[in-house]
Amino acid sequence: MNDNTLRTMFSSSTDLWATPQDFFDRLNEEFHFTLDPCTDGTNAKCPKFYTKQEDGLTQDWSGERVFMNPPYGRVLGDWVRKAYEEGTKENTIVVALIPARTDTKYWHDYVMKAKEIRFVKGRLKFGDGLNSAPFPSAVVVFDGVNNPIISAMNAMEVTK
Protein backbone atom coordinates (compact mmCIF):
# COMPACT_ATOMS: atom_id res chain seq x y z
CA MET A 1 0.00 0.00 0.00
CA ASN A 2 1.24 3.47 -0.72
CA ASP A 3 1.62 6.02 2.09
CA ASN A 4 -1.41 8.06 1.01
CA THR A 5 -3.69 5.01 1.09
CA LEU A 6 -2.37 3.98 4.49
CA ARG A 7 -2.95 7.46 5.91
CA THR A 8 -6.53 7.49 4.63
CA MET A 9 -7.42 3.97 5.74
CA PHE A 10 -5.99 4.29 9.23
CA SER A 11 -7.14 7.83 9.95
CA SER A 12 -10.44 9.43 10.81
CA SER A 13 -10.37 11.55 7.64
CA THR A 14 -13.21 9.43 6.27
CA ASP A 15 -15.60 6.86 7.63
CA LEU A 16 -17.29 6.33 4.26
CA TRP A 17 -16.24 3.37 2.15
CA ALA A 18 -17.95 3.31 -1.27
CA THR A 19 -19.36 -0.13 -2.08
CA PRO A 20 -17.78 -1.83 -5.09
CA GLN A 21 -20.45 -1.77 -7.82
CA ASP A 22 -20.05 -5.38 -8.92
CA PHE A 23 -20.34 -6.56 -5.33
CA PHE A 24 -23.52 -4.52 -4.84
CA ASP A 25 -24.96 -5.75 -8.15
CA ARG A 26 -24.65 -9.40 -7.07
CA LEU A 27 -26.47 -8.67 -3.80
CA ASN A 28 -29.08 -6.55 -5.58
CA GLU A 29 -29.87 -9.44 -7.96
CA GLU A 30 -30.79 -11.49 -4.90
CA PHE A 31 -32.52 -8.90 -2.71
CA HIS A 32 -33.86 -6.20 -5.11
CA PHE A 33 -33.04 -3.23 -2.87
CA THR A 34 -35.28 -0.17 -2.57
CA LEU A 35 -33.46 1.96 0.05
CA ASP A 36 -29.90 3.10 0.74
CA PRO A 37 -29.96 4.88 4.12
CA CYS A 38 -26.24 5.77 4.24
CA THR A 39 -25.21 7.84 1.24
CA ASP A 40 -23.47 11.13 0.65
CA GLY A 41 -25.91 11.81 -2.18
CA THR A 42 -23.45 11.06 -4.97
CA ASN A 43 -22.96 7.35 -4.30
CA ALA A 44 -26.54 6.17 -3.71
CA LYS A 45 -27.13 2.56 -4.71
CA CYS A 46 -30.95 2.69 -4.64
CA PRO A 47 -33.70 4.93 -6.03
CA LYS A 48 -34.67 5.94 -2.48
CA PHE A 49 -31.87 7.10 -0.20
CA TYR A 50 -30.99 9.21 2.83
CA THR A 51 -28.02 11.52 3.11
CA LYS A 52 -26.26 12.55 6.32
CA GLN A 53 -28.53 15.61 6.46
CA GLU A 54 -31.66 13.44 6.28
CA ASP A 55 -30.16 11.13 8.92
CA GLY A 56 -31.11 7.58 8.06
CA LEU A 57 -30.74 6.64 11.72
CA THR A 58 -33.90 8.64 12.52
CA GLN A 59 -35.94 7.49 9.52
CA ASP A 60 -38.46 4.63 9.37
CA TRP A 61 -37.36 1.84 7.01
CA SER A 62 -40.59 -0.18 7.27
CA GLY A 63 -41.52 -2.16 4.19
CA GLU A 64 -38.18 -1.50 2.47
CA ARG A 65 -35.51 -3.80 1.12
CA VAL A 66 -32.50 -1.99 2.51
CA PHE A 67 -28.87 -2.07 1.43
CA MET A 68 -26.72 -0.54 4.14
CA ASN A 69 -23.01 0.22 3.90
CA PRO A 70 -22.77 2.43 6.98
CA PRO A 71 -20.06 4.85 8.06
CA TYR A 72 -17.32 2.71 9.60
CA GLY A 73 -16.36 5.18 12.33
CA ARG A 74 -17.56 5.55 15.90
CA VAL A 75 -21.22 5.43 14.84
CA LEU A 76 -20.97 1.97 13.25
CA GLY A 77 -22.55 0.31 16.29
CA ASP A 78 -25.51 2.71 16.08
CA TRP A 79 -26.09 1.74 12.45
CA VAL A 80 -25.87 -1.98 13.19
CA ARG A 81 -28.40 -1.55 16.02
CA LYS A 82 -30.70 0.37 13.65
CA ALA A 83 -30.35 -2.36 11.00
CA TYR A 84 -31.28 -5.01 13.54
CA GLU A 85 -34.27 -3.03 14.85
CA GLU A 86 -35.60 -2.19 11.39
CA GLY A 87 -34.97 -5.77 10.23
CA THR A 88 -37.37 -7.05 12.88
CA LYS A 89 -40.26 -5.17 11.25
CA GLU A 90 -42.73 -7.00 9.05
CA ASN A 91 -41.93 -6.94 5.31
CA THR A 92 -38.56 -5.29 5.95
CA ILE A 93 -35.17 -6.75 5.04
CA VAL A 94 -31.88 -5.06 5.85
CA VAL A 95 -28.64 -6.27 4.27
CA ALA A 96 -25.57 -4.67 5.81
CA LEU A 97 -22.01 -4.63 4.48
CA ILE A 98 -19.83 -4.14 7.54
CA PRO A 99 -16.33 -4.91 8.80
CA ALA A 100 -16.16 -8.42 10.28
CA ARG A 101 -15.29 -7.25 13.77
CA THR A 102 -16.40 -10.24 15.77
CA ASP A 103 -14.82 -8.90 18.95
CA THR A 104 -17.12 -5.87 19.24
CA LYS A 105 -20.13 -5.39 21.49
CA TYR A 106 -22.44 -4.54 18.57
CA TRP A 107 -21.43 -7.78 16.82
CA HIS A 108 -22.52 -9.87 19.79
CA ASP A 109 -25.58 -7.75 20.63
CA TYR A 110 -27.02 -7.50 17.11
CA VAL A 111 -25.13 -9.32 14.34
CA MET A 112 -25.37 -12.64 16.15
CA LYS A 113 -29.18 -12.25 15.99
CA ALA A 114 -29.17 -11.90 12.19
CA LYS A 115 -30.91 -14.31 9.87
CA GLU A 116 -27.67 -14.81 7.98
CA ILE A 117 -24.01 -13.84 8.20
CA ARG A 118 -21.88 -14.13 5.06
CA PHE A 119 -18.16 -13.67 5.57
CA VAL A 120 -16.52 -12.18 2.50
CA LYS A 121 -13.63 -14.25 1.21
CA GLY A 122 -10.72 -11.91 0.52
CA ARG A 123 -10.66 -8.15 1.03
CA LEU A 124 -12.87 -5.68 -0.82
CA LYS A 125 -11.55 -2.69 -2.74
CA PHE A 126 -13.80 0.18 -1.74
CA GLY A 127 -14.50 3.17 -3.96
CA ASP A 128 -11.68 4.20 -6.24
CA GLY A 129 -9.08 2.63 -3.97
CA LEU A 130 -6.07 1.02 -5.54
CA ASN A 131 -5.65 -1.38 -2.64
CA SER A 132 -7.89 -3.71 -0.73
CA ALA A 133 -9.29 -2.74 2.65
CA PRO A 134 -7.12 -3.53 5.68
CA PHE A 135 -10.04 -5.38 7.30
CA PRO A 136 -12.27 -8.35 6.46
CA SER A 137 -15.94 -7.73 5.62
CA ALA A 138 -19.23 -9.47 6.23
CA VAL A 139 -22.68 -9.23 4.73
CA VAL A 140 -25.31 -9.44 7.46
CA VAL A 141 -28.97 -10.10 6.64
CA PHE A 142 -31.66 -8.96 9.09
CA ASP A 143 -35.10 -10.29 8.16
CA GLY A 144 -37.90 -9.94 10.71
CA VAL A 145 -39.52 -13.15 9.54
CA ASN A 146 -36.58 -15.20 10.79
CA ASN A 147 -34.99 -13.20 13.63
CA PRO A 148 -33.25 -14.15 15.87
CA ILE A 149 -32.02 -17.31 14.16
CA ILE A 150 -28.57 -17.69 12.64
CA SER A 151 -29.24 -19.81 9.60
CA ALA A 152 -26.00 -19.76 7.68
CA MET A 153 -22.49 -18.48 7.42
CA ASN A 154 -21.70 -18.49 3.74
CA ALA A 155 -18.59 -16.97 2.24
CA MET A 156 -19.00 -14.48 -0.59
CA GLU A 157 -15.95 -14.41 -2.78
CA VAL A 158 -14.46 -11.10 -3.89
CA THR A 159 -14.09 -10.89 -7.65
CA LYS A 160 -11.23 -8.94 -9.16
3-class DSSP state for residue 97? strand
Question: What's the confidence (pLDDT) of residue 156?
Answer: 54
Residue 99, strand partner residues:
137
pLDDT at position 129:
65
10 or 54, greater pLDDT: 54
What domains can you pick out in the chain, each with its CATH number? 3-157 (3.40.50)
pTM for the model = 0.80
- The model's pLDDT over 119-160, given as tens digits with 9 standing for 90+, comes to 988 878 776 666 767 678 899 999 976 544 443 344 455 555
Q: Alpha carbon 3 to chain centroid distance?
A: 27
Sign of CA dihedral 67, 19, 16, 156: positive
